[in-house]
Amino acid sequence: MAQLAAHQVERHYRTFVRGTVEADEGLVDAPIARSERDPTAMAVRLGGREARTRYQVETRYSDPVSATLLRCQLETGRTHQIRVHMAAIGHPVIGDDRYDGTPPGATKSNRLLAPGRLWLHAAALEFSHPISGRQVRFESPLPADLRASLADFS
């Protein structure tokens, strides 16, 4: 917990977002707080807690729709941080009905996954072991449903 608080834990994610992310890599540095419109959601807001997400483009796709596969690294850890930051730069996470900008009750388009499933995966966690002090890394392969959803893109 102390390492998390001191930003010494590396957290790596893979996510698939709508649209073409132009820059090969970038940093979203935008504070996050509770949404004023929906207290169960988060939003980029002045006066919020600092939040930084680094991203790197893995693959850009144009068919059947424009989408970008990203690797993200959290420098901070806020609730829904990747989802909020990607939506804030105009590239919501695929499958994210909460932060995709579609009005409530509207038909969701480009559904690639089962309802309620986000294209967001915690790929790796790295930190200093609290007893031995050795650096340890745990990796998780993409689940089958996320791998399968990429097969539709070229």
Which is more confident, 32 or 10? 32
CATH of domain 2-150: 3.30.2350.10
Q: How far is CA 68 from the centre of its chain?
A: 12
pTM of the model: 0.88
Contacts of 81 (CB under 8 A, 6+ apart): 32, 42, 51, 53, 74
- 5: pLDDT strictly greater than 80: no
The domain ranges of the chain are: 2-150
Largest separation between any pair of C-alpha atoms in the chain: 53
- 7: pLDDT strictly greater than 80: no
Q: pLDDT tens-digit profile of 101-149?
A: 765 555 555 567 888 899 999 999 999 888 898 999 999 999 999 999 9
